Amino acid sequence: MTFGEILFSFSLAALVGLPFGILLWRFRTLARILNPYLISYYAIPVFALYPLFVALFGIGIFSIVLMGWLFSIVAIIINTTTGFQKVDEEIYPRVGKSLRLSRSKIFLWIYFPAATPYIFTGLKLGFIYSLIGVIASEFIISTRGLGHLVSFSYSSFDIENMYASMLLIVLIAVLINGLLVRMESRIYGRRAR
């Protein structure tokens, strides 16, 4: 259950965060307006909102996924925007224009490969933040899942189950991070040829 909640919140964050990051890159005025809020976002205690989520959506999967999504989306947006802005500072887009490539080809063959390290850094951070948000939400508002199991085991002095649950959480983080690293190397390596 926890694994599904993490993947769902992370996937939702990636599906919303990547296009929104590209949108901020394309519309610089909007980026200048929102950038201070995005950068200071993690200074706000997002978990202070969980009573509101519980009141609106109840104690269930939606509140937990929403908390994980809120934790991870900003890292994806900021890194995506930064990646494309860094490519603007390079000579590659000018080379694409001098070769008279269309805008879509410049985006696909120049911007996207050059921004890939930033994008995947955002995805890796986003996944970890999503994991933290889901596990911490399960600590507080869930009656099942790995976060609840760790909390319940801690409260009942069941050390074996607590450490086994924590090990499973670490294994999930390592597995998904490894998959993202492999995807990055495949995409970046293939585009660079």
pLDDT in tens, 158-184: 888 888 888 888 898 898 888 888 887
Query: Is the predicted pLDDT of residue 17 greater than 60, yes or no?
Result: yes
Q: What is the mean pLDDT of residues 103-110?
A: 86
**Residues with Cβ within 8 Å of residue 160, at least 6 apart in sequence:** none
Question: What pLDDT is attached to residue 113?
Answer: 86
- What is the mean pLDDT of the segment spanning 23-29? 92
Range among 46-60, 142-156, 170-184 rated most confident? 170-184
What pLDDT, on a 0 to 100 scale, did the predictor assign at position 188? 67
Whether the per-residue pLDDT at 155 is higher than 70: the answer is yes
Q: For position 190, what pLDDT does the model report? A: 56
| Model confidence, pTM | 0.84
pLDDT at 14 (0 to 100): 95
Number of domains in the chain: 1
For residue 193, the model assigns a pLDDT of 46
Mean of the per-residue pLDDT values of the chain: 85
Of residues 55 and 6, more confidently modeled: 6
Cα distances (Å, whole numbers) of residue 56 to 51, 107, 173: 9, 41, 30
**Which residues span the domain enclosing 56?**
2-192
CATH code assigned at 167? 1.10.3720.10
**Residue 81: its pLDDT value, please?**
94
Tally of CB atoms within 10 A around 152: 16
